Structure 1
Amino acid sequence: MGWASMAQRMLGVSIRTFSEPAAALDPLGAVYWLTDGIEPGVPLAQAVFDTAHVSVDPETGAPVSTNNPILGVRLIDLPNNPTNRDRVRARGVLYMINEPQFDGVAGVTITLRKV
């Protein structure tokens, strides 16, 4: 088993553990991917949504908090690579994609902005 497949499996375990509810269980609480912003979007079976997060400044190592929500997903769970035309609906709120940060192997953390 290569590095990429191991990373894919471990990321899958993490995302399943912390994921928002599936659309079948909670349609209003689920995460939807709107390619080119077109409603109603595709429900993401596995996605981790957080309303705010803390990151680390790479130059100083100091923690930097932000009020921007983020979405963490595996690339294979998205219908397309993220673009600035796509939208995300999470917990009933519509967001624009601000900045996707690819991990270089299997996943992406996407900084969002409320529409």
Structure 2
Amino acid sequence: MAVGEVLQQLRAEYGCDLAALVGVDGLLIEAATAEGLDAESVAANAVSGLLMMEALGRELQETAARQALIEFADHVVLVAPLGGDVALVLVASGESNLGRLRLAVRRIRPRLEAEVAAL
């Protein structure tokens, strides 16, 4: 299954407004997005939080973070580094089941990491 299909599947099955692969430089690699959402801007801003995650991990003497979850009133943003300077960014409604989103990332991560390695 191609990266775009995997992202579309995430969007469809988990009700995400955005499922995207983004380089840590903020450049959008691939996205499945709802109409009216600026995937490039949202993804670039979401991935900028990876620098903070890395700094906090170093301070705590931890390994790389597995994911970050940010809750707003109307949206939830999940950022998961995939290795190779690429991250998965999911944006869902604020009423989404957070455990279900985290489980989705855990399940899809190996497939996305393999796809990213092939890019």
Q: TM-score, normalised by structure 2?
A: 0.27
* Higher CA-based Rg: 1
Question: Going by fraction, where is helix more abundant, 1 or 2?
Answer: 2
